[in-house]
Structure 1
Amino acid sequence: MRTIKVALAAFSLMAGLCSIAAAQTWPGKPITMVLPFPAGGSADVVGRAMADEMGKRLGQPVVVENRAGASGIVGASYVAKAPADGYTMMFTTTLPIMTNQFVYAKLPYDPRKDFALISQVATGQLVLAVHPSVQAKSVKEFVAWAQQNKGKVNYGSWGVGSAAHLMGAFLSNSRGMDMSHIAYKGEAPMLQDLIGGQVQMAIGSYMSIKPYLESGKLRALAVTGDKRIGTIADVPTFEQAGLSEPEFRPVGWLVLVAPAATPAPVLARLEKEAIAAANTTAVKARLQVAGLEAMGTTSARFREDYQSAMPVLERVVKASGARVE
């Protein structure tokens, strides 16, 4: 028995030393950054800027790979099952790693166990926008209009369980509007259908919606968060518009994660370079255009915020009625 214990201890020591040795030579080849949504949205633009800046610091290219579909599940599942060698990470919204566990009865990965949290890169406000054909200049007018057109109004989102879906569902259910939800594979296709009039309302990131507000193709009625967005200061927050429930006040995170078993020294390096990249002039410029604010948090702060957000998200999902069996 003693011989077996000694052998196991020796094996563990050797495994640890091998892990340290591998981390010391890492990275020795390009790193893949998976984005679980289509190209073109604000998260995609910021993710590519982060990949570029992190690549410069790591001394190896960080190659962006879009793996969209099923509310981020396709990309998240791929990363969760990828080799935990430091050569695969994911830049994402909170949808696949936080919200989905409360929306879907079953997932092909465990959001709480299958990912190592690296850093919260940025946070930002969302905008509720409508097609110009909608006869409403405020949220209250939109609610009244939708109530008069029950069963005829569609709202879009970038996926089941996304902030756009949950807020839209809560708005519809709490105000008796009976709107129909249309889920898309990402923000870009959602906005294309909103511009085309296939859906009458959607909630999206400021950067993605901004060009269409400026061209008159969309009209903004409210923004999430505690303050107005400077460049559209005439648009009130939900609370200022008369919708004071906390479900209308969330802001989104853009975060970086890796497979859970990635060696600690590699995670520490990724954390260091992610924080540095988030605070570069190039990334901040992208964030500013998108109406986002740089965070660049430590992994410890990320874990703390993750845990505190769990009960809030669970409550919002239940209130919205969003559930996929």
Structure 2
Amino acid sequence: MNRSSFCLHALRASGLCIALLHLAAGTAMAQADYPSKPIRIIVQYQAGGSADALARLVGDGLSKRLKQPVVVENRSGAGGIIGTDYVAKSAPDGYTVLLSVPGPIAANLALYKKLPYDPRTDLRHVSDIASTRTIMVVHPSVPAQDFKGLVEAVRKAPGKYAMGSWGPGVQPHQMQVFMDKTYGTQTLHAAYKGESPMAVDLLSGVIQMTVGSISTFQPYVTAGKLRAIAVPGAQRAKAAPSVPTFAEQGYKDDIFMLMAPTSLLVPSKTPDAIVEKLSREVAAVVKQPDVQKRIEDMGAEPIGNAPAEATAAYKAFLPVSLKLTRATGVTLD
């Protein structure tokens, strides 16, 4: 190589180094300035549900702390796939965040033969916001005061009782299939597009039972329009302290114990600095006494953990969720 060629290569190399340094400096500055524009929280379901309410509560708190607007955007459809895929394919810059219930990032892996995203590799956890507690409720015409009584009543009337759910393979559907396989009942499954239409049909007696969020169904229980049977989990729910757990009634199978949080996630390549900052701010919001009370009033229990803790909880929950979902025998295209 002659001297002029060597100098040319050296200049090009130094130019590349300078460009890389500028890029690195720009990236670092962008992370340090985060957020410098509005953040969007994507919810996979329609406005008005428990996930939407939780997103708006957290978004309002984050907006005040981060001094930037935090906008909740509902991208519903396809069992949560549309909203989840949108975030998974968004720029990994912390400005598009997913608030997800368990189904789209767990059960969907077993339900769908092919997903446009893989929650295990395309998303990363920022924080678990809250554990959304569910409750089994029945129409007042059902002659049962507890779960044992419900099983007996259903067994005596094959084909008469229908379990409502907000989609194939989700918790109430899993429980309906488990009851049929384990206790010899013959029940029907009625899938809805959300809890609101499901609640309407339960109140009118079109369906006889379901498992759904405490925030949706506890007011009807209090008003005497529905009867509470049990809550899943190891402990009673704070929002329904008089309702015993399945475990207290002697039912301790995974289906009756499993609980999962509503979580915040971002695209997997989002920088650590942004994830950590967002997680700290979320935790600070969730730990505010007024926010905790409002979360509990929704029938949920606040968490606000760190990314590593949220990731570990997801990895522990996932195999159990997949097992229960596959047991329903449902697969979707």
- CA offset at residue 300 of structure 1? 0.8
Identity of aligned residues (%): 38
Match of 1:313 in 2: 321
Residues 125 and 205 in structure 1, CA contact (< 8 A), matched pair in contact too: yes
CA-atom RMSD, angstroms?
Answer: 2.4
Give 2:198's aligned amino acid: M
- 2-structure distance, mates of 1:173, 1:321: 12
- 2-structure distance, mates of 1:164, 1:53: 32
- 1-structure distance, mates of 2:301, 2:21: 43
Match of 1:304 in 2: 312
Change (3 A) 1:262 1:232: closer
Match of 2:231 in 1: 223
Residues 71 and 162 in structure 1, CA contact (< 8 A), matched pair in contact too: no
- 2-structure distance, mates of 1:146, 1:6: 77
- 2-structure distance, mates of 1:30, 1:153: 48
- 1-structure distance, mates of 2:10, 2:121: 33
- 2-structure distance, mates of 1:175, 1:208: 28
Match of 2:59 in 1: 51
Residues 214 and 240 in structure 2, CA contact (< 8 A), matched pair in contact too: no
Alignment partner of 1:140 is 2:183: no
Residues 136 and 231 in structure 2, CA contact (< 8 A), matched pair in contact too: yes
Match of 1:87 in 2: 95
- 2-structure distance, mates of 1:202, 1:40: 19
Aligned to 2:121, what secondary structure does the other structure show? Answer: coil
Match of 1:150 in 2: 158
Give TM-score scaled by structure 1 length.
Answer: 0.91
- CA offset at residue 138 of structure 1? 1.8
Give 1:63's aligned amino acid: V
Match of 2:86 in 1: 78
Give 1:240's aligned amino acid: E
- CA offset at residue 51 of structure 1? 0.5
- Pairing of 1:1-325 with structure 2 (within 5 A): 14-229=22-237, 232-325=240-333
Change (3 A) 1:89 1:204: same
Q: Which runs of 5+ in 1 are unaligned?
A: none
Residues 137 and 210 in structure 2, CA contact (< 8 A), matched pair in contact too: yes
Change (3 A) 1:15 1:225: same
Change (3 A) 1:133 1:266: same
Match of 2:4 in 1: none
The number of aligned residues is: 325
Farther off after superposition, 209-218 or 67-76: 67-76
Residues 239 and 300 in structure 2, CA contact (< 8 A), matched pair in contact too: no
Query: Which protein shows a greater Rg?
Result: 2
Aligned to 2:126, what secondary structure does the other structure show? Answer: strand
Q: Which runs of 5+ in 2 are unaligned?
A: 1-8
- CA offset at residue 115 of structure 1? 0.8
Give TM-score scaled by structure 2 length.
Answer: 0.89
